[in-house]
Amino acid sequence: MKYVLLIGDGMGDLPIPALDNKTPLEYAATPAMDRLAMEGEMLLVHTVPDGFPPGSDVANLSLLGYEPDKYYTGRAPLEAASMGVDLAGDEIAFRCNLVTLDHSADGSSVGMADYSAGHISTEEARELINAVAAECNTDRLAFHPGVSYRHLMVWKGSSPRLDPVPPHDYTDQDVTVFYKQYLAVPEFKELLEKANKILADHPVNKARVASGKNPANGLWLWGAGRKPKMEFIKDRYGVSGSLISAVDLLKGLGVCSGLEVVEVEGVTGYIDTNYEGKAEAALYALRDQDLVVVHVEAPDEAGHQGSTEDKVQAITDFDGRIVAPIVRGLEELGEPFRVVITMDHYTPISRKTHEDWPVPMVIYDSRGVDSPGGCGYTEANVKKVVQVNGLELQSGAQFFKRFISGSS
């Protein structure tokens, strides 16, 4: 048996007037997912336990069969694992976004103009983070470059008294109260003032401004935590596997769960990612592995950007360039297989942030299921079917056990 978990990050949404009051998932062309839903098992899964933030860290940890209340220590430690940064017992990792901040002329207010600095390229971002590291690294803190706007800062010692927020939750909003938290910590105040000057004077940002792009004129620290201790999926569920993603968060989950992290050239975490490369890598991995997890970030990014057009495109591409070729390849392989189609959480265009609602899911078994869904894959269709079949699972661990064993 081969197992494939396909995650369209943040695909879920609400009806949008510009799409004839359909959700992006309803509006997009999704023949491959619709076929699996027609013939597979529909269910709802609570990926975010009560009391936890509805982030991709918690939700994807849950989708891999782990209980967040036992294993979740923060987002940044997972990204550190992906980047090969081995946290010591006295070290805390912070996710560090390169952002575009709008400072008022008198310095009294700060706005979050862009949480991703215009989806800055990895090459540009690396130059900026390396410049900050060269001037700001100390025996207490160190920067590590990541992908696009997503980077890492490691802090040695006790945790500063902060309650930082994800910048993508506050796009186009006033973030003064949050920014002032950093300024209240002397070492962070010194760091940000120094880093802001380095970023403002850097040729990369001057070139971006000259070409009409958002500059990466600030750092935003959040998602802090210490190194997690996780059992491997193979030990918990008896399957070997691989994980394919563009983002360090998912790669870190792969590392911590004992999955082989497959690197694919040209993946970006947005709509310009290398979909074909991901699909090919997944099918290649399945020659030797039981399980492959393919994560696509683009729908979530489009949701945070508030771009209906990009979200529809991301879902269409997920269906036609990930789901369809992988299912085709599995059928050609000739072995029995199960494929899951899901999102980790909702990222509604109108809200530009995550919601903790139970996610609509399909488990397709090539050998057939007892009660096929009989309709296409949409948020509303899954809810209607679940009202009849009662398949609403309260945790990702329940889902993963059902996925692997065929029962909950």
- pLDDT value for 160: 80
In terms of C-beta density within 10 A (0-12 exposed, 13-18 middle, 19 or more buried), how is residue 201 classed?
exposed
Torsional sign, CA 98, 276, 382, 50: negative
* Arithmetic mean of pLDDT over the chain: 96
Regions of the chain short of the pLDDT cut 70: 407-408
DSSP state letter for 12? B
- pLDDT value for 123: 96
The Cα 346–Cα 299 span in angstroms is: 10
pLDDT tens column, 205-260: 999 999 999 999 999 999 999 999 999 999 999 999 999 999 999 999 999 999 99
- pLDDT value for 83: 94
**What residue ranges define each of the domains in the chain, with the CATH number in brackets?**
2-72+229-405 (3.40.720.10), 91-225 (no CATH)
pLDDT tens column, 344-402: 999 999 999 999 999 999 999 999 999 999 999 999 999 999 999 999 999 999 999 99
- pLDDT value for 407: 62
Q: Please state at what angle helix 176-183 crosses helix 186-201, rounded to 10 degrees.
A: 110
